[in-house]
């Protein structure tokens, strides 16, 4: 019996889908377009180096992240990876995972730069977050 190949049915994205693609949690770190943009910024400025094999935070990165309020100078013993690349399923590029990624997300919530969307992993950027992400990390975000 021969297989019949038909193109997939077009299904427009909902607002919820768009929110999930823009910014979401991936376990305990930030993903989506925002997570990738943050990783790109940190890499471009030489604060982080990411590869398939892992991630390294430079001295300037430790300084920047510490001033941001991420507790990256505290390296707890254990099995937790300090910094690693995580391939984003929607962007097909890296965002930052490990202890560093978790601290970036934790501090962003603490500063109320990000807010969770109920019943989903999606997060939104608050007005303070737009300013803060630009001022601290150089992210240029489209107006809401």
pTM of the model: 0.88
Q: Which of 142, 45, 61 is nearest to 98 (CA)?
A: 61
- Region 74-83: mean pLDDT is 77
**pLDDT tens for each residue of 7-24:** 777 667 677 778 889 999
State residue 22's pLDDT score.
Answer: 94
List the structure tokens of 11: 């299904």
**pLDDT tens for each residue of 18-60:** 888 999 999 999 999 999 999 999 999 999 999 988 999 999 9
Residue 98 has pLDDT above 60, yes or no: yes
List the structure tokens of 12: 């427009």
State residue 115's pLDDT score.
Answer: 97
Q: Which of 40, 29, 32, 37 is nearest to 107 (CA)?
A: 29
Can you tell me whether residue 45 is helix, strand or coil? Answer: coil
Whole-angstrom distance, CA of residue 33 vs CA of residue 21: 7
State residue 75's pLDDT score.
Answer: 67
State residue 2's pLDDT score.
Answer: 65
């Amino acid at each position: 019996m021969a297989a019949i190949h038909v193109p997939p049915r077009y299904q427009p994205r909902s607002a919820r889908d768009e929110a999930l693609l823009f910014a979401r949690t991936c376990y305990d770190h930030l993903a989506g377009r925002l997570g990738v943009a943050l990783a790109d910024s940190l890499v471009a400025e030489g604060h982080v180096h990411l590869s398939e094999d892992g991630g390294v935070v430079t001295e300037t990165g430790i300084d920047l992240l510490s001033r941001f309020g991420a507790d990256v100078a505290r390296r707890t013993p254990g099995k937790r990876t300090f910094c690693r690349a995580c391939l984003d399923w929607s962007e097909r590029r890296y965002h930052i995972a490990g202890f560093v990624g978790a601290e970036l997300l934790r501090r962003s919530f603490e500063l109320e730069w990000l807010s969770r969307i109920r019943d989903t992993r999606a997060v939104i950027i608050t007005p303070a977050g737009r300013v803060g992400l630009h001022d601290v990390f150089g992210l240029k975000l489209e107006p809401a």
